[in-house]
Structure 1
Amino acid sequence: MRNKLIASMAILLASSTAALADASDGKVKIGILNDQSGVYADFGGKSSVEAAKMAVEDFGGKVLGVPVEIVDADHQNKADIASNIARQWFDTDQVDAIMELTTSSVALAVQAIAKEKKKIDIVTGAATTELTGKQCSPYGFHWAYDTHALAVGTGGALVKQGGDSWFFLTADYAFGYSLEQQTSDFVKSSGGNVVGSVRHPLATTDFSSFLLQAQSSGAKVIGLANAGADTQNAIKQAAEFGITQGGQRLAALLFTLAEVHGLGLEAAQGLTLTEGFYWNRDEESQKFGKRFFERTGKMPNMVHTGTYSAVMQYLKAIDKAGTDETEAVAKQLHELPVDDVFAKGGSVGPNGRMFHDMYLLEVKKPGDSKEPWDYFNVLATIPGKEAYIDPAKSGCELVK
């Protein structure tokens, strides 16, 4: 009997030791790197950190028998700052994966470092299709949305409604260029034309000269190829110039629930936009939204819920692989279906793009909103295969 007990204890000890060995450093550490103090602080920010923590808690707080830790930092929308943080996290702080990565220039820089270090990155906050195009990585994944999906959704809807001439007000960095290009291509392929564009600095407070150029262009649609507080400020100042009263339409090409709340329904009503998640869409999303609200005081947008999904899927991949070793986890991330509150029947392509449905939304009039944060009418569901670029046409060298 004593020998059997000793043998059983030995087996348990061996199993425990194996689990610890399979999870490097006796823990799994995930870094949430995003803008927490600037123009995109509401878009992602500290609320994305809370979403990541929710995912860890819902998973049980451990994977392979070891604890899961969330760390976070503010990259201030600067690629050099983000790169320094990423290198420190990977080289000395034992961070296994970096996620969120709002701002396309930041996401591209950090993904390049993650590729060099053979570490996982999952982008939920940045938009450029280059992440799964020419600058793709075997360890890089793009989760919540991208510029192509926004162009197909918002751009496509407005062209169908007669908005066949466009002028772009574009944020002067990688994200803005990509969003303008993707939307321009879609407008032209749908029979419309682009009459001009102007670029503005990130986080500018004065849009007057840019809006006057857009107004004088005579375009039916002014495409706002920017995001966060930049979009809010452009819309507010456009109202002061009487742009929509003059018959031109504003297309907020990257606008989420967070920015609608910041702007208010009075100013935002009637805007058409595209998101990958809406909290008030069904019973499951409502439950998640209310849990999120209890922690943050706000309802989640697609970046917040996408971050929850990315963390949850990463932990599922580690569990399935039986290790947190990068190659094995990346393989599982490519193979496992994505089925959670964010995405139903989602799948990951060979270029790292996660395919999931997007939603074409219209901002409600103030009188139509039944409760706080009830801001959208769902106009259409855009299937993932229509929203995103075919991997074979993405330019990613990993696609054979």
Structure 2
Amino acid sequence: MLRSRALQAHWRIPRMRRIACVLLLLAQPVAARAQVSGDVVKIGVLTDMAGVTADITGKGSVVAAEMAVTEIGGAVLGKPIQIVSADHQHKADVGTAIARRWFDVEDVDAIVDVPNSGVALAVQSLAREKKRIVLYSGPGTTALTNEQCSPYGFHWTYDTYAVSHGTASAVVKAGGGTWFILASDYAFGHQLQQDATSVIAALGGKVLGSARHPLNTSDFSSFLLSAQSSGAKVIGLANAGNDTVNAMRQAGEFGLVQGGQSLAALILFLQDVHALGLRDAQGTYLTTASYWDMNEATRAWSKAFFAKTGMMPSMLHAGVYGAVRHYLKAVASAGTDDAGRVATTMRTIPVEDVFSEDASIREDGRVTRTMYLVRVKKPSDSKYPWDYFDIVRKIPPEKTVWPLAESKCPLVKASSR
């Protein structure tokens, strides 16, 4: 009896091992499939399709994302890449509802673009909760990488700190010491006004007055009359898209420049200049993260973009392209679309695309990069369509970002402060 029981025990051990081996073999294909959730890498372009920033984001952002996917080869880790898109209508509740549906129902791995700082901050909060990646090209608020930073949020193209320091400092140094600031009345405009005011004061200038207007304003007459009566040398426009275009056009109709005041667009895009025309926009300083006509590589990419959209890319379009490309490279390098592992990988692999110079990702999620102070050309100096900017000088990466020493982001180590 004892011998029989010993033999039974002896034969049970190999049998248990055989079962374990079978279970391990069965588990291996499941683990392989789990590398990419849903067998597809899905990226959502949350953008403005018909509103005030549609020309500088919108359908162009979708095309830019698609071009990045094509450049990668249309697949990653052997799985297809899918681009979906939606219009947030510049409403935080609409944008958050779309993002929630994408995360919870449609298994979207990453969201990109998100013009409008209010929408971006709402999406940031949701994405942090859901542990999903968001790549911001369109919004400008520094809060995305400061007090409301996220391990899954990456501020890719620019922020209000970068453009205000580039443009406002150039104008003050050129003699524009007194300002009136006209700002859009939401998070982006508030932050841009605050950042510009700090730069102006630090350089010995003074803001004599300010006013805030609703998003997508058609009549700026009362605001411009206040600016005119302030006696300020410079009228700073802390708005974007069609609001900037309309304000500059109406300033021309009021004769503000002819009366001795000058305009400073704290953020101005290639499409804005195209809409205004060089006659009205000439001489305007602005800060940009990229320009289509910088070199052969940027020209080649931009001409391919033009063939699909009928326009050259804004810096936001270029940012969407670069962000999607980097994200997909990180997925490939990490061997998974798991958000935590991809976010870590994004911070370690080099940022490389035709529009990014000396770019890298800080611990707070901010992409540091060389930016460019440019001046809008005179009509006589433009040699071909979309030849609008002269590059005045490069702005090094460390001059375009909020200092880590002043950061309120929990991701920033105390030793960095």
TM-score (norm 1): 0.95
Aligned to 2:384: 371
- Provide the residue aligned with 2:344 in structure 1: 331
The reply to whether residue 320 of structure 1 matches residue 354 of structure 2 is no
Comparing 344-353 and 13-22, the one that deviates more: 13-22
- Secondary structure of 2:327's aligned partner: helix
> Among residues 265, 289, 302, which one is paired with 2:278 in the alignment?
265
After TM superposition, give the deviation of residue 173 of structure 1 in Å. Answer: 0.3
What letter matches 1:136 in structure 2? C
Instruction: Tell whether 2:67 aligns with 1:54.
Output: yes
Q: Name the counterpart of 2:318.
A: 305
Match of 2:18 in 1: none
Whole-Å Cα distance in 2 between the matches of residues 231 and 216 of structure 1?
20
2:217 corresponds, among 204, 210, 214, to 204
Q: Distance in 1 between matches of 2:278 and 2:216?
A: 22
Match of 1:344 among 345, 357, 361: 357
Give the counterpart of 2:172 among 136, 159, 162: 159
| Cα distance in 2 for residues equivalent to 1:188 and 1:268 | 26
- SS of 1:215 mapped into structure 2: helix
Q: Structure 2 residue aligned with 1:289, among 285, 292, 302?
A: 302
**1:234 aligned partner, one-letter code:** A
SS at match of 1:335: coil
Query: What is aligned with 1:178?
Result: 191
Q: In the TM superposition, what is the alpha-carbon distance from 1:131 to its structure 2 partner?
A: 0.4
Shift of 1:43: 1.4
Residue 199 of structure 1: SS of its match in structure 2? strand
1:27 aligned residue: 40
Is 2:271 the counterpart of 1:277?
A: no
Deviation string, structure 1 residues 255-302 (Cα, Å, up to 9, x no partner): 110111111111111111111010111111111111111111100011
1:391 Cα deviation (Å)?
2.4
Are 1:250 and 2:263 counterparts?
yes
Aligned to 1:194: 207
Q: Where does residue 131 of structure 2 map in the other structure?
A: 118
1:83 matched to which residue of 2?
A: 96
Distance 1:337 1:166 in 2: 40
1:372-397 Cα deviation digits (max 9, x unpaired):
00000000110111111122322111
CA offsets per residue over residues 296-323 of structure 1, 9 Å max, x none?
A: 1100011000000000000011111111
C-alpha RMSD over aligned residues: 1.3
* Deviation at residue 333 of structure 1 after TM alignment: 1.2
8 Å contact from structure 1 (residues 392, 399) kept in 2 = no
Query: Contact conserved, 2:279 with 2:378, CA < 8 A, in 1?
Result: yes
- Match 1:136 to one of 146, 149, 162: 149
Matching residue's letter, 2:351:
V
Deviation, 1:240, is 0.8
| Structure 2 CA distance for aligned equivalents of residues 176 and 15 of structure 1 | 52
Which residue identity lines up with residue 324 of structure 2 in the other structure? V
Q: Extract structure 1 runs of 4+ deviating beyond 6 A.
A: 13-17
Counterpart of 2:140, as a letter, is: A
Deviation at residue 345 of structure 1 after TM alignment: 2.6
Residue type of the alignment partner of 2:66: K
> Distance in 1 between the 2:48 and 2:385 partners?
26
Q: Which of 38, 44, 49 does residue 36 from structure 1 map onto?
A: 49
Structure 1 counterpart of 2:274, which letter?
A: H
How much has 1:342 moved relative to structure 2?
1.8
d(CA) in 2 for partners of 1:59, 1:46: 20
Aligned residues: 388
Cα distance, 1:339 vs structure 2: 1.6
Contact residue 358 and residue 397 of structure 2 kept, 8 A:
no
State which of 338, 356, 359 in structure 1 corresponds to 2:372: 359
The equivalent residue for 1:240 is 253
Q: CA deviation at 1:19?
A: 4.5
Q: Is contact 2:228-2:256 (8 Å) kept?
A: yes
Shift, 1:15, TM fit: 8.7
Output the amino acid matched with 1:57: T
Is the 2:278–2:377 Cα contact (8 Å) retained in structure 1? Answer: yes
Equivalence for 1:9? none
**For the Cα contact (< 8 Å) 2:369–2:396, is it kept in 1?**
yes
* 1:355 CA displacement: 0.3
Extract unaligned runs of 5+ from structure 2.
1-25
Measure, in 2, the Cα distance between the counterparts of 1:263 and 1:105: 27
Name the SS of the counterpart of 1:121 in structure 2: strand
| Per-residue Cα deviation, 1:53-112 (whole angstroms, up to 9, x for no partner) | 000000000011100000000111111100000000000011001110000001111111
- Percent identical pairs in the alignment equals 55
